[in-house]
């Protein structure tokens, strides 16, 4: 394996790369305040062009992206409601981040592999993971209830940023195998402060690993704004590691799709890692346990509501005459059906058997686990005897 990064030599495909290196006359604070943002669909639903990134989608594909976002939001709202009703212990809502997740998720090929955080419900949807499977860990019946290999979608990782290294290692393996798959590591603005993310940048760069770092900068790491994580726009960090970074309007599903496709192609074609910063907003709380009124103002949220990812896509589709009332009411029905299916699934989701505590602790077994399992079974059985009396 070569340790020389081809990414370091290749020209970034974005014009902003040039700007960041030639902005000597501009004040840094200005550069930070007005970073270049790749956008193909304005908040008003106007289709615009970008010199470096473009998409050419069929009406079905455009409608599909909208449908994905609507269904994901509905699923998410249902899960939040189920938490309020006591069916889930916790829920981490993706409200507001639908475009970032659907745009990137739909850029993937089946053979690509995804390492999510615990909020990638939209990406999971794109990968074909049954949404009801995502609920197990939030209900407390498991710690991740799906087979990562069946959809090439890894388990949710709760420790912030750890998965960036797993993605990098997996991508190193992809390169060793001579495959042209790509790997995506999802993480957030808070995670960008973690050492593991920095180490993932280093490893992926020196091994030229085919990994895309997809950072959803949703502006808040629980109560801390991005300014508490970074003095420069997050995408600019890539330059220091020797690979390109780009900031995309994370509420613009078309731009996210275009940029992610380009980043995946960059990885596939042997050019190594790339960092995508999807500039978005966490419309809801960090999780259902959080209270954002303690640290952020309503006005900020309202400003972002005007940039809503679903609304702008709907405006665009309507303006183009690609959807009509019939189609929308069909989607409403589909939405309702999904919500109902989720609701039923959660209410009938069985608690695991007590002895599941001892399952899968080791692949090859462990004498102590066997001993404790036997003793605990005996203990439990002693109550059964009493009840039987």
Task: Measure the CA–CA gap between 93 and 68, rounded to whole angstroms.
Answer: 16
Q: Which of 26, 84, 109, 295 is the catalytic position?
A: 295
Among 237, 282, 312, 316, the active-site one is: 282
- Provide the CA 308 distance to its chain's centre, in angstroms: 17
Name the phi and psi angles at 222, rounded to 5: 50, -105
The token pair that represents 81 in the structure block:
């409601």
Q: Which is nearer to other proteins, 181 or 226 (CB)?
A: 181
Cα-based distances in Å from 290 to 92, 93, 204, 296, 360: 10, 11, 34, 12, 32
Q: Which residues bind other proteins (CB under 8 A)?
A: 1, 3, 142-145, 147-149, 154-155, 157, 159, 162, 164-174, 176-177, 195-196, 199-200, 202-203, 206, 359-364, 366-369
Q: Is 155 helix (H, G, I), strand (E, B) or coil?
A: coil
373 annotated active-site: no
Shortest distance, CB of residue 130 to other proteins, whole angstroms? 15
* Bridging pattern class, strands 183-188 and 113-115: parallel
CB 110 → other proteins: shortest distance, Å? 16
Looking at the chain, which runs of residues are DSSP E strands?
113-115, 183-188, 211-217, 220-221, 224-225, 245-249, 274-279
Q: Closer to other proteins at the Cβ: 105 or 136?
A: 136
| Separation between Cα atoms, residue 290 and residue 92, nearest integer Å | 10
Q: Is 121 assigned a catalytic role?
A: no
Displacement of CA 111 from its chain's centroid (Å): 17
C-beta of 177 vs 385, nearer to other proteins: 177
* From 74, 154, 237, 286, active-site residue: 286
What torsion do the CA atoms of 106, 107, 110, 114 make, to the nearest 10 degrees?
Answer: -90
Residue 128 CB, nearest approach to other proteins (Å): 16
Nearer to other proteins, 6 or 42 (CB): 6
- Nearest distance, CB of residue 113 and other proteins, angstroms: 8
Give me the numbers of helices (H) and strands (E) for the chain, helices first please. Answer: 16, 7
By beta-carbon proximity to other proteins, the closer residue of 152 and 219 is 152
Shortest CB 164 distance to other proteins, Å:
8
CA 150 – CA 380 distance, rounded (Å): 36
Mark whether 53 is an active-site residue. no
Q: Which residues are catalytic?
A: 282, 286, 295
């Amino acid at each position: 394996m070569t340790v020389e990064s081809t990414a370091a030599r290749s020209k970034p495909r974005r014009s902003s790369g040039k700007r960041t290196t030639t902005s000597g006359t501009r004040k840094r604070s200005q550069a930070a305040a007005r970073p270049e943002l790749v956008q193909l669909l304005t908040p008003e639903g106007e289709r615009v062009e970008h010199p470096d990134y473009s998409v050419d989608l069929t009406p079905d594909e455009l409608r599909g992206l909208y449908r994905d976002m609507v269904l994901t939001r509905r699923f998410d709202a249902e899960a939040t409601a189920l938490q309020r009703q006591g069916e889930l212990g916790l829920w981490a809502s993706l409200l507001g981040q639908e475009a970032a997740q659907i745009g990137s998720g739909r850029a993937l090929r089946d053979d690509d592999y995804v390492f999510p955080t615990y909020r990638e419900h939209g990406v999971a949807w794109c990968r074909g993971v049954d949404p009801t499977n995502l609920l197990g860990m939030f209900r407390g019946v498991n710690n991740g209830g799906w087979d990562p290999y069946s959809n090439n979608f890894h388990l949710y990782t709760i420790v912030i940023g750890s998965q960036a290294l797993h993605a990098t290692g997996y991508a190193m393996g992809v390169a060793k195998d001579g495959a042209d798959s790509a790997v995506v590591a999802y993480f957030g603005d808070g995670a960008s402060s973690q050492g593991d993310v920095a180490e993932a940048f280093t490893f992926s760069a020196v091994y030229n690993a085919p990994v895309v770092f997809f950072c959803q900068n949703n502006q808040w790491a629980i109560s801390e704004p991005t300014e508490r994580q970074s003095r420069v726009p997050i995408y600019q960090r890539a330059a220091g590691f020797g690979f390109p970074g780009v900031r995309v309007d994370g509420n613009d599903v078309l731009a996210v799709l275009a940029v992610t496709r380009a980043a995946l192609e960059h990885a596939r074609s042997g050019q190594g890692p790339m960092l995508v910063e999807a500039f978005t907003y966490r419309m809801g709380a960090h999780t259902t346990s959080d209270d954002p009124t303690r640290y952020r103002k309503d006005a900020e949220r309202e400003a972002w509501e005007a940039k809503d990812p679903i609304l702008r896509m709907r405006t665009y589709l309507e303006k183009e005459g690609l959807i009509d009332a019939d189609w929308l009411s069909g989607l409403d029905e589909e939405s309702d059906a999904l919500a109902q299916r989720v609701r039923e699934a959660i209410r009938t989701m069985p608690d695991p058997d007590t002895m599941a505590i001892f399952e899968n602790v080791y692949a090859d077994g462990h004498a102590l686990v066997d001993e404790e399992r036997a003793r605990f079974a005996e203990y439990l059985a002693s109550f059964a005897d009493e009840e039987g009396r």
